[in-house]
Amino acid sequence: MPPDPVQPYPSELRAVRRIAVIIPYFQRERGILQQALRSIVAQTFTAPTEVELLIIDDSSPIPAQDELADMELPPWLNLRTMQQSNAGPAAARNHGLDQIGPDIDYVAFLDSDDSWAPDHLQQGVDALELGHDFYFCDSAMPPSSLFASLTLFAQGANEDAFEPLPLGGQIYRLQPDRAGQFMVQEYLCQTSAVILRHRAMRDLRFEERLRYAGEDWLMWVRLAHSVEGICFSKLAKAQRGEGINLYRDAHERLGAKNLRRLMSMVLANRLMKITPGISAAAARLTDQRIMILRREMAAILLHPRVYQGLKNGEQRRIILDAYRLINVSLLPLWRDIIIRKMRWHSPRLDEAMT
């Protein structure tokens, strides 16, 4: 049975809260990591708190140590840096998770180009201590925010899906029987907006095969189907940055990087579909998204611009991988795309492409 949402877990009766913050780091511009660190140093707490900051340098062109040289840290913040061969953000986060000791109560994630409001950790932990395992907040993406684009938080929609918590700050609890469905339906939380109860994670880790997109969404879906309580704040306590972000950097629609991102999202949805406990309706959503993703890949492969980079070995490999992924249905997809573009239907065209 889920714990009483107004009663603290026994671990919260300790005198000191212990939080681990994990930052995967890969940047080509100086000063970006320092902005993230300054937002951690600026955190304010109303209860005794210790923070262990783990920075995983994913073979960054600008080494993390160069960014840390002049940083002054408060006594409650213990900094650890570690190096790994370039393996992507999922592997870097997992490296950090594997270094966390059993004395850590909570785990927060921060991308190296993002930042937090000063009360982010305090507010998140306060909400978790009311019997929850998973907390997230809105994230600012000027001129708007993530929640502003989501169906779950549309005005007048799904108001019975969450209930307010007695904390102020627009903090709510997701209805447990619907949390998994909502997490599959939409990308509800950007990584820097998430704080988790450490013991609730058990052996769950980010999927390292999803190097270019979807590794965080899949993680949240898996957690939503295994933890006992999810809460969130409608306030944007996380701020998106402008450094290297593999997902955002891949959004040139007709480029090979976008193909790579789409392939990663196809795999992410296939893995979501087999999440233990997922509903039949949620599984159908993943199938629908896979079809949309495959159609988008087919449209890119139909455009001559994508082939301008064939002399580049990496781009050539990405294009070939995309063909292998959708080759069985490529011609029907191309047919549908052409018909939609031309806004007419030709029986001969149907016969030629089937």
pLDDT of 14 above 70: no
Distance CA 104, CA 31 (A): 29
Residues 24 and 72 in one domain: yes
Distance CA 227, CA 198 (A): 11
Residues 201 and 298 in one domain: no
More confident residue, 332 or 26: 26
Asked if residue 144 is part of any domain, the answer here is yes
Instruction: Assign 337 a pLDDT band (cuts: 50, 70, 90).
Output: low
Residues 26 and 80 in one domain: yes
Asked if residue 333 is part of any domain, the answer here is yes
Asked if residue 1 is part of any domain, the answer here is no
Asked if residue 166 is part of any domain, the answer here is yes
Residue finishing a domain among 207, 239, 271:
239
pLDDT at 334: 66
Which pLDDT tens digit goes with each residue over 240-249?
A: 987 544 444 4
Name 168's Cβ contacts closer than 8 Å, sequence gap at least 6: none
Is the N-terminal amide bond of 143 cis, ω within 30° of 0? yes
Residues 33 and 164 in one domain: yes
First to last CA, the chain: 54
Instruction: Assign 15 a pLDDT band (cuts: 50, 70, 90).
Output: confident
- pTM for the whole structure: 0.86
Which pLDDT tens digit goes with each residue over 103-140?
A: 999 999 999 999 999 999 999 999 999 999 999 999 99
Instruction: Assign 11 a pLDDT band (cuts: 50, 70, 90).
Output: very low
Asked if residue 245 is part of any domain, the answer here is no
pLDDT of 233 above 90: yes
Could you list the residue range(s) of the whole structural domain that residue 96 is in? 10-239
Distance CA 337, CA 326 (A): 14
Distance CA 90, CA 292 (A): 25
- Per the structure, the count of domains in the chain is 2
Residues 203 and 274 in one domain: no
Residues 269 and 224 in one domain: no
Residue finishing a domain among 176, 211, 239:
239
Closest CA to 105 of 12, 27, 184: 12
CATH number of the domain within which 191 lies: 3.90.550.10
Asked if residue 5 is part of any domain, the answer here is no
206 Rama sector, left if φ>0, alpha if ψ -120 to 50, beta otherwise: beta
Residues 180 and 90 in one domain: yes
Asked if residue 246 is part of any domain, the answer here is no
Distance CA 300, CA 232 (A): 37
User: 3-class SS at 135?
Assistant: strand
pLDDT of 186 above 50: yes
**Arithmetic mean of pLDDT over the chain:** 86
Residues 263 and 214 in one domain: no
